[in-house]
């Protein structure tokens, strides 16, 4: 388990508070009366079977998907009732790495990274470029990657460019949707360590959707389990191991779960 400095839950250490969230697409109810708290400074893993609504939940947090019911509070700001100006401030304070990376294939790496600065700030082009180059460095990419196009990069490098873009507005909240999917184990472990370093050095709060058990063991302080349309449990892995819910038992104690636990000396 990652060393955690997370305090006990109090009203003040909750960065994102979801209450009673319901999401429906036609007759498909994806979330029903879902509650979740993301605590300041934690790395929270979000797991659940394919199609259970992990990506929809991230999209709901950032307002790309409007919930039918329930409330979303970020830093104490109710994202449905606050003024536009207040909501805009909160919106500029998160960074997102989407499941498919979502880089613009016709833009260079540097232009992809500085895209949010161009859209949401009045920063001069020269300063935008310096900030983008700094973020490139921050995610461990060489400066000669700057003029390249996404199609010229490996999958791991593209993920890092996506992360650099997610960091470009200096967010306090980082939402990552399966950031290590498709990476080889060495690349995935390096990406995990990068996320951990960023959290530790910048004090970010991270919510990371993942199917990667190694990532959960390596960097997550707590893990939230999405099943039966709600967050069924959210806890440290040792505590989740005692949760009798069959999917949780199968997930952590099936062959892949045992292998990941063995690697961490938990099994």
Contact residues toward Mg ion (CB under 5 A) are 54-55, 99
Compare residues 99 and 121 and give the one whose CB is closer to Mg ion: 99
State yes or no: residue 53 binds ligand ATP (CB under 6 A): yes
State yes or no: residue 216 binds ligand ATP (CB under 6 A): no
Locus of tokens 């994202």: 79
* CA dihedral sign, ordered 59, 39, 204, 217: negative
Q: Which stretch binds ligand ATP (CB under 6 A): 12-20, 43-51, 236-244, 246-254?
A: 43-51
Cα 116 to Cα 93, 148, 170, 182, 265: the distances in Å are 11, 19, 11, 26, 42
Binding positions for ligand ATP, 55-74, rule CB under 6 A: 55-56
Give me the least distance between CB of 77 and ligand ATP, in Å please: 24
The residues that bridge with 44 in the sheet, in sequence order, are: 207, 222
Compare residues 47 and 167 and give the one whose CB is closer to ligand ATP: 47
* CA dihedral sign, ordered 75, 76, 80, 84: negative
State yes or no: residue 28 binds ligand ATP (CB under 6 A): yes
Give me the least distance between CB of 110 and ligand ATP, in Å please: 29
> Tell me, what DSSP letter sits at residue 53?
S
Contacts of 245 (CB under 8 A, 6+ apart): 225, 227, 232, 233
Compare residues 100 and 152 and give the one whose CB is closer to ligand ATP: 100
Question: Which among ligand ATP, Mg ion, none contacts residue 25 (Cβ within 5 to 8 A by kind)?
Answer: ligand ATP
Give me the least distance between CB of 194 and ligand ATP, in Å please: 22
> DSSP E strands: which ranges in 26-97?
28-39, 43-47, 69-74, 77-78, 94-97
State yes or no: residue 201 binds ligand ATP (CB under 6 A): no
State yes or no: residue 101 binds ligand ATP (CB under 6 A): no
Compare residues 66 and 122 and give the one whose CB is closer to ligand ATP: 66
State yes or no: residue 45 binds ligand ATP (CB under 6 A): no
Work out the angle between the directed axes of helices 125-138 and 109-120 (0-180°, nearest 10): 130
The torsion angles phi and psi of 86, rounded to 5 degrees, stand at: -65, -45
Q: Give the binding site for ligand ATP (CB under 6 A).
A: 25, 28, 30, 48, 50-56, 99
């Amino acid at each position: 388990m990652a060393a955690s400095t997370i305090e006990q839950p109090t009203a003040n250490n909750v960065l994102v508070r979801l209450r009673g969230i319901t999401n429906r697409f036609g007759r498909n109810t994806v979330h029903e009366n879902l509650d979740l708290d993301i605590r300041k400074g934690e790395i929270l893993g979000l797991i659940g079977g394919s199609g259970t609504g992990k990506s929809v939940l991230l999209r709901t947090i950032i307002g790309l998907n409007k919930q039918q019911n329930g409330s979303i509070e970020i830093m104490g700001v109710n994202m449905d009732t606050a003024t536009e100006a207040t909501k805009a401030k909160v919106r500029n304070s998160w960074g997102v790495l989407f499941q498919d990376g979502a880089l613009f294939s016709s833009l260079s790496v540097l232009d992809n990274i500085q895209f949010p600065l161009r859209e949401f700030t009045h920063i001069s082009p020269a300063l935008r470029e310096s900030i983008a180059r700094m973020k490139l460095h921050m995610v461990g990419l060489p400066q000669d990657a700057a003029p390249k196009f996404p199609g010229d990069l490996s999958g791991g490098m593209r993920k890092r460019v996506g992360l650099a873009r997610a960091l470009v507005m200096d967010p306090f909240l980082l939402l990552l949707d399966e950031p290590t999917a498709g990476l080889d184990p060495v690349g995935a472990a390096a990406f995990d360590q990068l996320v951990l370093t960023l959290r530790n050095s910048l004090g970010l709060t991270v919510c990371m959707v993942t199917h990667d058990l190694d990532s959960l063991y390596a960097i997550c302080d707590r893990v939230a389990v999405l099943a039966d349309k709600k967050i069924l449990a959210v806890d440290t892995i040792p505590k989740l191991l005692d949760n009798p819910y069959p999917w949780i038992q199968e997930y952590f104690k099936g062959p892949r779960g045992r292998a990941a636990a063995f690697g961490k000396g938990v099994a």
